[in-house]
Structure 1
Amino acid sequence: MSRSAPRRRAERPPSRRARVAAGLRARGERFAGSRAPVVLWVLTVAAGLGALVACTADVGPAWLCDAGAVAVVTSYSWGLAARTGGRPVVVGLLALVLGVGVVVLDHEALRTGAAVLTGVVTAVLAVMATVPAVRFVHAVREVLVAVVVAAIGALAVVAFEPVATVARFEYAVLGLGLVGAFAVVYRLGAGLHGLGRRGVLTVLIGTVVLAGTLAYAELLRRYGTPTLVDNLFDGVDWSRDHFGAFPRPLETVLGVPALAWGTHMRARRRQGWWVCAFGVAATAPVATTLVNPVVSLQEAGLATAYGVVVGLVLGFVVVRLDLALTAPSGSKGSRGRRAEEATALRPEPPRTRPLL
Structure 2
Amino acid sequence: MSRSVPRRRAEPAPRRQRRARSAPTPPATPADSPAVTPAAPPVSVGSDRPDRFDRSDPRELGRGARFARSRWPLVIWAVAVLTGLVGLVGCLFEVGPGWGCSAGAVTVATTYSWALAVRTGGRPIVAGALALALGLTAVISDDDALRTGAAVLTCVVAAVFAVMATVPAVRFAAAVREVVVAVLLAAVGALATVGFEPVVQVVRFEYATLGLALLGAFALVYRLGAGLHGLGRRGVVIVLLGTGVLAITLAYAELLRRYGTPGLVTNLLDVVKWSRDNLGAFPRPLETVLGIPALAWGVHMRARRRQGWWVCAFGVAATAPVASALVNPSVTLAESVLSVTYGAVVGLVIGFVVIRLDLALTGPRGRRGRRAEEAGALRPEPGRTRALL
Secondary structure of 1:325's counterpart equals helix
**Equivalent position to 2:187, from 151, 159, 162:** 151
Following superposition, the deviation at residue 283 of structure 1 comes to 0.1
Aligned to 1:40: 76
Following superposition, the deviation at residue 61 of structure 1 comes to 1.0
Q: 1:100 to 1:25 in 2, by over 3 A?
A: farther
Aligned to 2:55: none
Following superposition, the deviation at residue 24 of structure 1 comes to 11
Aligned to 1:346: 379
Structure 2 letter corresponding to 1:277: A
Q: Which 10-residue stretch deviates more, 31-40 or 133-142?
A: 31-40
Structure 1 letter corresponding to 2:262: P
Q: Output the aligned Cα RMSD.
A: 1.2
Structure 2 letter corresponding to 1:189: G
Q: Percent identity?
A: 73
Following superposition, the deviation at residue 98 of structure 1 comes to 1.2
Structure 1 letter corresponding to 2:227: G
Structure 1 letter corresponding to 2:362: T
Aligned to 2:44: none
CA distance in 1, matches of 2:353, 2:203: 31
CA distance in 2, matches of 1:24, 1:286: 45
Measured against aligned partners, the alpha-carbon deviations of 1:142-175 in whole angstroms (never above 9, x if no partner) come to 0000000000000010111111110000000000
Aligned to 1:186: 222
Structure 1 letter corresponding to 2:239: V
Aligned to 1:216: 252
Give aligned pairs, total.
331
Alignment of 1:1-356 (within 5 A): 26-327=62-363, 331-356=364-389
Following superposition, the deviation at residue 37 of structure 1 comes to 0.8
CA distance in 2, matches of 1:25, 1:298: 50
Secondary structure of 1:89's counterpart equals helix
Q: 1:137 to 1:60 in 2, by over 3 A?
A: same
- TM-score, length of structure 2 as denominator length: 0.84
CA distance in 1, matches of 2:233, 2:158: 31
Following superposition, the deviation at residue 205 of structure 1 comes to 0.1
Please list every run of 5 or more consecutive structure 2 residues that lacks an aligned counterpart in the other structure.
Answer: 1-58
Secondary structure of 1:292's counterpart equals coil
Secondary structure of 1:176's counterpart equals helix
Following superposition, the deviation at residue 346 of structure 1 comes to 0.2
Q: 1:173 to 1:26 in 2, by over 3 A?
A: same
Following superposition, the deviation at residue 339 of structure 1 comes to 0.8
CA distance in 2, matches of 1:319, 1:84: 27
Rg larger in structure: 2
Q: 1:26 to 1:149 in 2, by over 3 A?
A: same
CA distance in 2, matches of 1:116, 1:287: 10
Following superposition, the deviation at residue 29 of structure 1 comes to 3.0
Structure 1 letter corresponding to 2:383: P
Following superposition, the deviation at residue 30 of structure 1 comes to 1.7
Following superposition, the deviation at residue 25 of structure 1 comes to 6.9
CA distance in 2, matches of 1:25, 1:188: 28
Structure 1 letter corresponding to 2:368: R
CA distance in 2, matches of 1:306, 1:341: 29
Measured against aligned partners, the alpha-carbon deviations of 1:323-352 in whole angstroms (never above 9, x if no partner) come to 11111xxx3232222111000000000000
Please list every run of 5 or more consecutive structure 1 residues that lacks an aligned counterpart in the other structure.
Answer: 1-22
CA distance in 1, matches of 2:68, 2:359: 38
CA distance in 1, matches of 2:208, 2:100: 27
CA distance in 1, matches of 2:307, 2:64: 32
Higher helix proportion: 1
